Amino acid sequence: MTCQGCKNGAAFSSTFTMAFQPIMDTRRGEIFAHEALVRGADGSGAGSVLSLVDPDNRYAFDQQCRVRAIELAAHLFPRSNMPHLSINFMPNAVYEPRACIRQTLETARRTDFPLDRIIFEFTEVEKLDTAHLLNILRSYREIGFKTAIDDFGAGYSGLNLLTRFQPDLVKLDMDLIRGIDTDAVKQVVVRRTLDMLRDLGVTAVCEGVETAGELQVLTELGVDLIQGYYIARPTFEGLSPVSLALAA
């Protein structure tokens, strides 16, 4: 299979790399996953790289992100009790999912990285063709990848999408989590959202956790998977140590 994106997509010529931020399973006391986050080759933030992405080169950029994340993770991740690798992808850069996935599959094969340890997550930062997105998500699941919706609660069609496809993970938007220990309304919204996700068989991840108070409330609500600066900040081309108190 091939497609016009593979044939005509402009190359992304700027050099970039990845930082990794852990997602902690606080109940098990272990790292569930590391999210790969784009960084400039000099360690600069994601904005310095993303500002160079345009409709002509986003296919090449998306492909390079996958390859770089898997190559680095294969080098850094322990082989025993291997955590998951979470990779952000751009749905509008995927023309035909089974054609566009070939380079990812080849990289995983070359580095001996298990497909069932890879999570593809997307953020609804722009309106998407729902049928196209569902085709991507269903194809990825059939191949053996896990899928996730990022920033749930801040996108365009989160609830509508959930009625048609239930991903493995949903990451609640950090604006819902920030200050939840002192905001009764947020506690109600998050509690009801968690109940809904449990009923659908979807695992929740709460991101943007920055304080002990936020973590305590989320733990009381039954959340196991936590991501945020309170756990660990992203580490440039490395794996972040986590709090010993949380890992105990």
Report the candidate in 67, 138, 133, 51 with the shortest Cα–Cα distance to residue 95. Answer: 133
| C-alpha–C-alpha distance, residues 161 and 177, integer Å | 22
Of the CA atoms within 13 Å of residue 194, those in its CB half-sphere come to 20
Give the per-residue SS3 of 138-158: HHHHHHCCEEEEEEECCCCCH
- Integer-rounded Cα Rg, in Å, for the chain is 18
Instruction: Answer whether residue 224 is part of any domain.
Output: no
- For residue 90, give the DSSP letter: -
Active-site choice (142, 207, 210, 220): 207
| C-alpha–C-alpha distance, residues 108 and 124, integer Å | 26
Instruction: Answer whether residue 193 is part of any domain.
Output: no
| C-alpha–C-alpha distance, residues 8 and 162, integer Å | 33
91-105 pLDDT tens trace: 888 888 888 899 999
Helix (H, G, I), strand (E, B) or coil at 206: strand
| C-alpha–C-alpha distance, residues 18 and 102, integer Å | 21
Q: Count of residues for the chain? A: 248
Residue 222: CB atoms within 10 A of its CB come to: 12
Number of separate domains in the chain: 1
Instruction: Answer whether residue 221 is part of any domain.
Output: no
Q: Which domain holds residue 84?
A: 4-175+233-247
Angle 82-65-32 from CA coordinates, rounded to 5°: 25
- Give the CATH number for residue 157: 3.20.20.450
How many angstroms separate the most distant Cα atoms in the chain?
53
Instruction: Answer whether residue 187 is part of any domain.
Output: no
pLDDT value of residue 246 = 58
pTM over 0.85: yes
Cα 210 to Cα 99, 206, 213, 221: the distances in Å are: 40, 11, 9, 17
Q: Which residue has the tokens 């599959």?
A: 105
Helix (H, G, I), strand (E, B) or coil at 21: strand
Instruction: Answer whether residue 46 is part of any domain.
Output: yes
Residue 173: CB atoms within 10 A of its CB come to: 18
Q: Consecutive sets of 10 residues in the chain, 248 residues long: mean pLDDT of each?
A: 52 91 94 97 94 91 95 96 95 88 96 97 75 93 96 75 94 95 97 97 96 96 96 94 58
Of the CA atoms within 13 Å of residue 247, those in its CB half-sphere come to 12
Instruction: Answer whether residue 215 is part of any domain.
Output: no
| C-alpha–C-alpha distance, residues 214 and 222, integer Å | 13
Instruction: Answer whether residue 227 is part of any domain.
Output: no
Instruction: Answer whether residue 220 is part of any domain.
Output: no
102-152 pLDDT tens trace: 999 999 999 999 999 999 998 866 667 889 999 999 999 999 999 999 988
Catalytic site includes residue 207: yes
